[in-house]
Amino acid sequence: MKHILKIIALFVAVSAIWVSLLETSLIPHSLTWLLPIYFVVALGCYGLLMVGIGLMRFPTCPQEAILLQKDISEAREFLKQQGIHVDPE
């Protein structure tokens, strides 16, 4: 729940800055109207960056790999008992 509150607070802050820039005319209106598009693009780039960092730091879990292999072998044995042929890869 805290994450959604951060997102809402960021959205409100960016919206307030955008409206204030529209009202004060510090930046030409032609550029000010494009700011939400820039924000969405920047948010997408940030998301891609976080996914990339997450993939680079992806932890290996040898214990979980062993448990997964055990579950796979149990599933193959169960399917053999049911008469279904499964080729081990």
**Prediction pTM value:** 0.48
Q: 16 is in which domain, residue-wise?
A: 2-81
Higher pLDDT, 2 or 12: 12
User: What crossing angle do the helices spanning 2-24 and 35-56 adopt, rounded to 10°?
Assistant: 150
The answer to whether residue 86 sits within a structural domain is: no
What pLDDT is attached to residue 9?
Answer: 92
Query: DSSP letters along 26-69, please?
Result: SS-HHHHTTHHHHHHHHHHHHHHHHHHHHHHTPPP-HHHHHHHH
pLDDT of 19-67, one tens digit each? 888 788 777 777 777 878 888 898 899 999 999 988 888 777 888 889 9
pLDDT of 61-86, one tens digit each? 888 889 999 999 999 999 989 888 87
Virtual torsion, Cα 33, 34, 38, 39, nearest 10 deg: 10
The answer to whether residue 67 sits within a structural domain is: yes
Question: For the chain, what is the domain count?
Answer: 1
The answer to whether residue 89 sits within a structural domain is: no
Q: Are 15 and 32 in contact (CB under 8 A)?
A: no
Mean per-residue pLDDT, 7-27? 84
Residues 6+ apart with CB under 8 A from 35: 18, 21
What pLDDT is attached to residue 27?
Answer: 74
What pLDDT is attached to residue 11?
Answer: 86
